[in-house]
Amino acid sequence: MVRDVTRRPTILDVAARAGVSKSTVSLVLQGSDQVRPETRDAVRTAMVEIGYVYNRAAANLRSASVGLVGLVINDLRNPFFTQFATTLQMTLAARGYATVIANSDEDPALQARLVGSMIEHGVAGLVISPAYGSAGATFDQLARTGLPVLQVLRKTDPRTDLFPFASFDYAAGSVAAARHLLERGARRIAFVGGLPGRAITQQRQSGWRTVMAEHGLDTVALEGKPTRAFGMQVAGTLHARHPEIDAAICFNDLVALGLIAGFARAGRQVGTDFRVVGFDDIEEAAQSWPQLSSVACDIDRFARDTAARLLDWMVDARRPAPEILMPVALVTRDSSIAPCPCAASHPTRIQ
C-alpha cells in the first residue's frame, strides 16, 4: 500500500524511512538526550529527505503546551505601543514562542472577541494593554482559564493578584519634568493632552501638580486626545488666549511634537520663549527640531522584562509581583533648554 503523495508526511513516514518507531522520532523532535546520536542523525536525515513539517496542533492536543503567546494592544498605531509589541514579539521569538498580536482599537467588545479567539487558539499566556471600558466579563473569562495574564501600561482590572500589573513610574517623571522647567526659569507651566479622568492622565499630571503646589503656582491643564493633531490645536489656543504660559508638560511626545509644529506655524520658536517636555521619549524626539525633551520610558527594557516575567510564569509557574513600576528618566534637549535655535544640542540624562 503506497502512501498518498499529496499528504503531508507525518512522524510515521519519517519513522518508516529511518527504520525506527514513531516514538523514537518523537523523542528526536523533543531533543531528548536518551536517543543514540547515530539514530538521531538518521531520523533528522529522513526528515529532511521527505520534507517533514512538525504539526504543532497535533502535539498540542496531547501535551497542552503551545508555544503561542497572545498580545492585545489598545492602539497599535501609537509608536510607543508598536515599539513595545515589536520588542516583546522578538524577545519571545528568541525563546521559541510565536506571538499573536492584535489591536483592540480601544474597543472593549472587539477586545473580548480577540481574547476569546486567542484562548481558543490555546495561547500559553497573554499580555494585554487593555482598552478602557467594561471588560469585566473578559477578565472573568481569563480568570476561569487560569492562564498567565499580564496587564501592562494600563490597569483596568484591579485584581493584580490574578492579573499582575506593570507600568512606568509616571508620577516621578512628572515631578522631574516640572522641577526641570522651574529651574530653567519657567513659571506658568501648563499640562497639555491626556484624556480626562483616566488613570494614566492623572499619574502623568500628579507630579506636576505636587511641584506646582509646593511653589504656590497655578495650574492649567488642557486635556484632550493624545495625538499630534490635538497638540497643534492647543498651540493655537495657547498662542491666542494664554500668552502668559511659558512652558508645557505634554501627555506624550506626539502631543508635544504637535504643539511644537503648531508654534512653528505661528512663527513662534519653542526652546527660547516657550519650553516643552514630552513623555515617552520616542525615537523621533531626538530627531525633531528643536529636539524634544522627554521623560524617557525605556520601552525596550520594559518589553524584555515583560517577556521574562511572562516566561517565568508560563514555564516555571513563578507568579510575578502583583505590581511593578519601572523607573523613568528625564532626557533634556533643546525644547526645554536651548538658549538659541542655532546652538548644537547636547542631550543630558538626569535622575
Partner DNA sequence: AAGGCTCTTTGGATCGTTCCAATTTCAGCG
Partner DNA sequence: CGCTGAAATTGGAACGATCCAAAGAGCCTT
State the residues that interact with DNA by CB under 7 A.
7-8, 10-12, 20-24, 26-27, 29-30, 33-36, 38-39, 52, 54-55, 58-59, 61-63
Closest CB 112 distance from a second copy, rounded Å: 12
H helix intervals, 100-169: 108-120, 136-145
Instruction: Note whether 250 and 259 are within 8 A (CB).
Output: yes
> Which of DNA, a second copy, none does residue 39 bind to, with CB < 5 to 8 Å depending on kind?
DNA
User: Is residue 91 close enough to count as binding a second copy by CB under 8 A?
Assistant: no
Show the site string, 210-249: x = touches a second copy by CB under 8 A, - = not: ------------------xx--x-----------------
For residue 55, the one-letter residue type is: N
- What sign for the dihedral angle of Cα 149, 155, 161, 166? positive
Closest approach of a second copy to the CB of residue 141, in Å = 8
| 147-169: b (≥16 Cβ within 10 Å) or e | bbbbbbbbbbbeebebbbbbbbb
The 10 Å Cβ neighbour count of residue 30 is: 10
Nearest distance from C-beta of residue 57 to DNA, angstroms: 7
Shortest Cβ 141–DNA spacing (Å): 15
3-state secondary structure of 253: helix
Q: Tell me which of 119, 220, 325, 329 binds a second copy, using CB under 8 A.
A: 119
User: Distance between CA 27 and CA 7 in Å, rounded?
Assistant: 23
CA–CA separation, 115 and 215 (whole Å): 47
Minimal distance, residue 62 CB to a second copy, in Å: 9
Residue 10 interacts, among a second copy, DNA, none and using kind-specific CB cut-offs from 5 to 8 Å, with DNA
93 binds, among DNA, a second copy, none (CB under 5 to 8 A by kind): a second copy
Stretch that binds a second copy, among 89-97, 193-201, 214-222, 242-250 (CB under 8 A): 89-97
* ∠ CA 65-70-72, rounded to 5°: 165
The closest alpha carbon to 285, from 266, 259, 263, 311, belongs to 259
Residue 21: which of DNA, a second copy, none does it interact with, CB under 5 to 8 A by kind? DNA
Cell numbers linked to 115: 481574547
Cβ at position 294, least distance to a second copy in Å? 15
Q: Contact between 21 and a second copy (CB under 8 A)?
A: no
- Please answer whether residues 117 and 142 qualify as being in contact, where contact means their C-beta atoms are separated by less than 8 angstroms: no
For 86-102, the three-class secondary structure string (H helix, E strand, C coil) is HHHHHHHHHCCCEEEEE
Is residue 26 involved in binding a second copy (CB under 8 A)? Answer: no
CB of 119 to a second copy, least distance (A): 6
Residues 290 and 296: their CA atoms lie apart, in Å, by 17
What is the binding site for a second copy (CB under 8 A)?
8, 51, 53-58, 60-61, 66-68, 76-77, 79, 82-83, 85-86, 89-90, 93, 96, 98-103, 105, 110, 113-114, 117-122, 144-145, 228-229, 232, 258, 261-262, 264-265, 267, 283-284, 287-290, 341-342
